[in-house]
């Protein structure tokens, strides 16, 4: 057990050297000095509580989800009736009062229409999302159930959380905290982002992109007065675009939504030299876009983003290939933000900022300073006690403890992880675990000597027996930390990451590294007794 071949020593020392070198930039930074720019600088990122950043609380309007469900159901009903064989003619469609009602032209079609509607209203079979009834012989009434609305809102909030996560990660923010709060709120904490306005502009943008045909039959005077013809709706032009201050009428149903986008990039139009966003649809979206533009050549269609019209160009020829450009008086920055928002997907529901604050780095600096002082004092006392109590073996444990700290910092830097205030607590906790391991080993060696075993046998048995207890205890710690990482959020995850790294390195340094040093000393000195 005390045999260490040369290759193993080289491998162990190489690992220690690599992680220690990786830790140097972080050590220099935490000490307040500046690391040379000409050298690689893998350093630890600091969390919101240490480096400062932005905190934003968003809230969704649950009524919007209910309205969207009505619109989606109306389109599904129209499609089902149109695709029936023979088609079922419907009319007098209304979504007033939070319910969808319509009439079939012929009473003989009522039974066929009911059969077509049942799959739409029954949902997944476990939860009834709509109630269906027939009144006045030919009028169908579909009313959403509370369970269905609650499930839709819950799904929309989960999707919104995922979209925000993708957008923040796209701008390079490391380990943001994005958690749901209640039924309709989401908390966003972005370490290092000191500009809450830019963050709000990115994550608050719904990025709901639509392509809809312009209603050319609408009277201009009605459109400007905000009166929409039957089957159409009114949208204003976005500020700064051609037509600013005017409205435009578009067909309410049909068109193409941006949910079939697969890519969006901010580019520059070489002909006009203006900033544009180039989008690309998936196969299904490209086919729909080609069909829309083929069937409506020489007609205008509006490009609508978050219920505002960016532009309404004429379709000069069919657009095939699934690629299009969006123009709208963009700057390079706004085009890039829109591209990020479109790539990450549209928010399924509008989110309103109801609380925002910026956390300055000063509080974090105080926390780091206090943590470093506490860690320094604690580590110093531990080193002294170990040296006094166990002599040479205590010295080995002290050196292993220092290497353990460097290895934790080095691995965290190489993994590009984030250190938070709870992470510092995890750091200190693992230092204690490392000392515990050496205390167990040294006490076990003492016990073996008292039993009359020889020096080498005592050391071998000490490491062998103590290692079992050390591994068992730390495996449970790793399991707990992994569960914390899987189910925790934000700083809790940071704590779990530091704990896992620290447990692994503390066992490695306290057991493997000290054993290598002790084995080398025994071979060189061949002592007849031990002073442990």
Tell me the pLDDT tens digit for each residue of 211-253: 888 888 888 888 887 788 877 888 888 776 666 778 888 887 7
Of the ranges 196-210, 266-280, 319-333, 358-372, which is most confident? 266-280
In the block, tokens 């900033």 appear at 275
- pLDDT band for 174, please (50, 70, 90 cuts): low
Cis peptide before 86 (omega within 30 of 0): yes
Domain ranges of the chain: 6-44+360-525, 53-204, 205-348
Domain range 205-348, CATH class? alpha beta
- pLDDT band for 201, please (50, 70, 90 cuts): confident
| pLDDT number for residue 152 | 86
| pLDDT number for residue 171 | 72
Is the model's pLDDT at 333 over the cut of 80?
A: no
Cα 514-515-519 angle, rounded to 5 deg:
120
Q: Which two tokens stand for residue 498?
A: 């530091």
Q: Provide the terminal-to-terminal Cα distance of the chain, rounded to the nearest Å.
A: 19
Is the model's pLDDT at 392 over the cut of 70?
A: yes
Helices 62-83 and 146-170, interaxial angle, to 10°?
110
Max CA separation in the chain (angstroms)? 107
To which CATH superfamily is domain 6-44+360-525 assigned? Multidrug efflux transporter AcrB transmembrane domain (1.20.1640.10)
Tell me which DSSP letter residue 266 carries: E
Q: What are the distances in angstroms from CA 513 to CA 163, 396, 447, 517?
A: 46, 9, 22, 6
Average pLDDT over residues 425-437: 80
pLDDT in tens, 3-38: 778 888 899 999 999 999 998 888 887 777 777 777
Domains 6-44+360-525 and 205-348 share a fold: no
Answer yes or no: are the C-beta atoms of 99 and 73 closer than 8 Å.
no
């Amino acid at each position: 057990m005390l045999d260490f071949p040369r290759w193993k020593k080289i491998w162990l020392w190489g690992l220690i050297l690599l992680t220690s070198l990786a830790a140097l930039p972080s050590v220099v930074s935490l000490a307040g000095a500046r690391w040379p720019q000409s050298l690689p600088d893998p350093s630890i990122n600091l969390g919101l509580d240490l480096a400062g950043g932005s905190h934003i609380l968003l809230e969704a309007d649950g009524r919007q989800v209910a309205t969207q469900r009505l619109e989606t159901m109306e389109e599904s009903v129209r499609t089902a009736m149109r695709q029936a064989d023979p088609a079922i003619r419907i009319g007098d469609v209304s979504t007033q009062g939070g319910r969808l009602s319509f009439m079939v032209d012929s009473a003989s079609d009522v039974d066929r229409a009911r059969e077509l509607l049942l799959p739409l209203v029954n949902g997944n079979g476990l939860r009834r999302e709509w109630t269906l009834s027939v009144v006045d012989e030919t009028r169908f009434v579909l009313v959403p159930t509370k369970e269905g609305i609650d499930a839709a809102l819950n799904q929309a909030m989960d999707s919104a959380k995922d979209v925000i996560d993708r957008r923040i990660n796209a701008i390079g923010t490391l380990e943001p905290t994005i958690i749901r709060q209640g039924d309709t709120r989401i908390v966003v904490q972005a370490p290092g982002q000191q500009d809450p306005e830019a963050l709000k502009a990115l994550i608050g943008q719904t990025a709901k992109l639509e392509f809809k045909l312009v209603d050319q039959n609408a009277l201009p005077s009605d459109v400007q007065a905000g009166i929409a013809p039957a089957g159409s709706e009114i949208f204003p032009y976005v500020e700064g675009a051609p037509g600013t201050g005017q409205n435009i009428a578009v067909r309410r149903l049909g068109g193409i939504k941006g949910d079939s986008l697969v890519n969006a990039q901010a580019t520059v139009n070489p002909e006009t030299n203006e900033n544009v966003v180039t989008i690309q649809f998936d196969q299904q979206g490209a086919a729909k876009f080609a069909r829309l533009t083929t069937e409506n050549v020489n007609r205008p269609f509006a490009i609508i983003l978050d219920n505002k019209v960016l532009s309404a160009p004429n379709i000069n020829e069919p657009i095939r290939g699934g690629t299009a450009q969006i123009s709208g008086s963009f700057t390079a920055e706004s085009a890039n933000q829109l591209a990020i928002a479109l790539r990450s997907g549209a928010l399924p529901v509008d989110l309103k900022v109801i609380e925002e604050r910026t956390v300055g780095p000063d509080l974090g600096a105080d926390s780091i300073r206090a943590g470093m002082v506490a860690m320094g004092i604690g580590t110093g006392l531990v080193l002294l006690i170990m040296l006094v109590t166990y002599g040479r073996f205590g010295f080995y444990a002290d050196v292993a403890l220092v290497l353990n700290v460097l290895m934790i910092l080095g691995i965290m830097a190489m993994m590009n992880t984030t250190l938070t205030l709870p992470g510092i607590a995890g750091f200190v906790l693992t230092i204690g675990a490392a000392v515990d391991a050496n205390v167990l080993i040294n006490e076990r060696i003492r016990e073996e000597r008292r039993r009359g075993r020889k020096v080498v046998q005592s050391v071998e048995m000490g490491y062998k027996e103590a290692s079992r207890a050390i591994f068992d205890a730390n495996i449970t710690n790793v399991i707990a930390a992994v569960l914390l990482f899987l189910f925790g959020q934000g700083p809790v995850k940071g704590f779990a990451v530091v704990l896992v790294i620290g447990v692994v390195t503390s066992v490695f340094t306290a057991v493997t590294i000290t054993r290598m040093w002790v084995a080398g000393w025994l071979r060189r000195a061949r002592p007849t007794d031990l002073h442990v």
